Amino acid sequence: MIPDFLALVGDAADGYPGLEGIGLVSAARLLGRYGPLESFPPEALGKRRELALLFKNLATLRTDARLFDNVEALRWHGPTKAFEMCVIQLNDARLLTRALKARSS
């Protein structure tokens, strides 16, 4: 029920605001009355139901996500061509210079 609670009240650390007008107490009451968000009657959240379900999805810890086969896959090899294009679009050559310097460190 923690993801349900966080979906309603928000989680600043993870960057989603929760539903406006629902605080700690009202979230606890709603969850106590209806259970998980999927069990809420349509009138409980109205048009905000889909947003609440999105926030619940974001608040749900995933333990089955495939990450990588080998820790070496995480090694940074420097800026890519895509990064170079981004630097050009941002018109800030210092970013590329710093990235190239970091690669050689």
Q: What is the pLDDT of residues 43-76, one digit of tens each?
A: 999 999 999 999 999 999 888 988 888 888 888 8
- Residue 93: the pLDDT is 87
pLDDT, averaged across the chain: 92
Q: Give the residue-averaged pLDDT of 28-38.
A: 97
User: What per-residue confidence (pLDDT) applies to 83?
Assistant: 93
The pLDDT of residue 60: 92
Backbone φ and ψ for 71, nearest 5 degrees, come out as -60, -25
- Ramachandran quadrant class, 15 (left: phi over 0; alpha: psi -120 to 50; beta: rest): left
Encoded amino acid at 17, one letter: P
Phi then psi for residue 15, to 5 deg, are 85, 25
Say if residue 104's pLDDT is above 90.
no
* 15 — pLDDT class (breaks 50, 70, 90): confident
Query: Among residues of the chain, what percentage have pLDDT more than 70?
Result: 99
The pLDDT value given to residue 14: 84
List 51's β-bridge partners, or say none. none
What does the pLDDT average to over 10-30? 92
